[in-house]
Chain A
Amino acid sequence: KNEVEQSPQNLTAQEGEFITINCSYSVGISALHWLQQHPGGGIVSLFMLSSGKKKHGRLIATINIQEKHSSLHITASHPRDSAVYICAVRSRETSGSRLTFGEGTQLTVNP
């Protein structure tokens, strides 16, 4: 079983729709990251969170530590949001800061 599971694997939406991507993890963590990977391969860090909720523009990330679950929401989605969204965790069970990654969610937003 993967330490980090994301759902859905693929998501297609119409422009303007509200989007939710989910991440569940099985280990105790000190932080969770949401990352965006563009078609060319580059990775951009969107959020790092260890509790509660963060918002940046149309993006909102929440985390429930007790339930070991995080969600990434995109409001008023746009075709430029099309990318792979990756959840990654930093485990409390290792002393380092290595990230363990999920498989990613491929998001396609159609005009």
Chain B
Amino acid sequence: EPEVTQTPSHQVTQMGQEVILRCVPISNHLYFYWYRQILGQKVEFLVSFYNNEISEKSEIFDDQFSVERPDGSNFTLKIRSTKLEDSAMYFCATSGSWLKETQYFGPGTRLLVL
């Protein structure tokens, strides 16, 4: 069964450093999402992306965050200057249509900011 993959699985970084989290969507999927889950808390929406632009973003997704699809396959989330409170599990999800299909989640990247 096709699956969403994410790299790296774990990343440790120093506060203030830039990180890039990568996602490879299911091949015919066109809608992409990033979510995060702070340890012990519920999953939260960050951003959705379609046709090379952001469709929707949450209040969490401020100027420190950006997304892009640099090469037509990878979908990336960049955090420009990490803060301690960015420590979380970041999930990529993809779907084949905007509303009619389920979202398929990647295994997540666990980010720890020291």
Interface residues of A (CB under 8 A from B): 30-31, 33, 35, 40-45, 47-48, 86, 88, 90, 94-104
Q: Is the interface of A mostly helix, strand, loop or mixed?
A: strand
A100 to B101 alpha-carbon distance, docked (Å): 16
Contact of B44 among A41, A48, A90, A101 (CB under 8 A): A101
User: How many B residues have CB within 8 A of the partner chain?
Assistant: 25
Q: Does B75 contact A (CB under 8 A)?
A: no
Can you spell out 13 A-B residue pairs with CB atoms less than 8 angstroms apart? A42-B108, A45-B105, A47-B102, A48-B101, A86-B42, A88-B43, A95-B56, A97-B33, A97-B48, A97-B99, A97-B103, A98-B45, A102-B42
Residue of A nearest to B56 (CB): A96
Q: Which of B38-75 contact A (CB under 8 A)?
A: 42-45, 48, 55-56, 58
